[in-house]
Amino acid sequence: MNKPMSEFDLIKRYFTRATPGTLLGVGDDAALLQVSEGNVLAVSSDMLVSGTHFFPDADPFLLGHKTLAVNLSDMAAMGALPRWATLAIALPDANEAWLEKFSAGFFALAQQHGVELVGGDTTRGPLNLCVTIMGEVPARQALRRSGAQVGDEVWVSGRLGDAALALAHSQGRIVLSGEEFAACAPALHQPQPRIALGLALRGLANSAIDISDGLLADLGHIIDASKVGAQIDLVKLPVSLPVSKNFGRSLGVQCALAGGDDYELCFTAPATRHRDVLRISEKLDLPLTSIGNIVAGQGCIVHDAAGKPINLGSSGYDHFR
């Protein structure tokens, strides 16, 4: 009979990798990190809970990817270069097959972005995943929510609404064809953090945020912090065919504006820098779309194709509503 794996065996086998970018990594009471000269440390934490953020039977490789991706997205929104992460994980049991796939997904994305896992914790309990991500950014170049200016254009990267539509299908609230679900599902299960875009926006964007709870909710954080308002044109939103097909039944509009789980960047930049943003789009081979403007006042107004304001009733996801 195989000897049960201990907590320390688990950490050593699945979550210990070389960390040449640290003074001291996994294995001590704390990691020792050295921030590069002229930079400050950007730090963020995100928690994923089984049954709330992902299905209990989620593919462990894709879950490993997403666990890190949602944290990398926060670094992108700050214009920070990600460097280190810690992982705290509660597990119902030490399922080695699950751990092998989960850690493979996690470290595949970590290697892609040069992130080192430098510590964390494991315990027995309902499946719960919490990452703290750390990155570096020059102090005066960090992107913030509070810098939007009247006259700025509002931009978003990629497409909106795919993840929310795929989730609606998975929950049985809508039926997509196999082809439609295949087009939307990667946004839900394997989001791509826009690190390169965040770095390119240093010194250009006046404000930025990642879209995790829905465009209106997250843009709302920018305009609240900046004490301005915004106007958005629904017809300008970059959406896939499956999302646009559902605009007529309102679900598509809800997914694009308030669905959440997009993990794209929403940012504002002076209208005079429009061509500069398009050049970044071309260089990164990443669609960047101007969807509206920052205006004086407060709140965000979304206009439909006829120029009339629309009211969704909900601006985005909230864990406690």
> What are 270-319's pLDDT values in tens digits?
999 999 999 999 999 999 999 999 999 999 999 988 888 987 765 544 44
Helix, strand, coil percentages in the chain from 3-state DSSP, rounded to 5: 40, 25, 35
Residue 31 is predicted with a pLDDT of 85
Residue 180 is predicted with a pLDDT of 95
Those residues of the chain that have pLDDT short of 50 are 1, 316-321
**Pairwise CA distance, residues 76 & 8, whole Å:** 32
**Pairwise CA distance, residues 266 & 207, whole Å:** 8
**How far are the Cα atoms of 15, 38, 56, 65, 171 from residue 71, in angstroms, in the given order?**
17, 23, 20, 10, 25
Residue 24 is predicted with a pLDDT of 78
Residue 23 is predicted with a pLDDT of 78
CATH of segment(s) 145-303: 3.90.650.10
Q: Domain extents for the chain?
A: 7-141, 145-303
**Pairwise CA distance, residues 257 & 312, whole Å:** 9
Of 163, 164, 171, 92, nearest in space to 129 by CA: 92
**How far are the Cα atoms of 54, 145, 188 from residue 225, in angstroms, in the given order?**
30, 6, 28
Residue 22 is predicted with a pLDDT of 82
Residue 3 is predicted with a pLDDT of 64
Residue 139 is predicted with a pLDDT of 85
Residue 179 is predicted with a pLDDT of 96
Cβ proximity of 67 and 107 under 8 Å: no
Cβ proximity of 262 and 158 under 8 Å: yes
Residue 19 is predicted with a pLDDT of 85
CATH superfamily of 7-141: PurM-like, N-terminal domain (3.30.1330.10)
Cβ proximity of 280 and 200 under 8 Å: yes
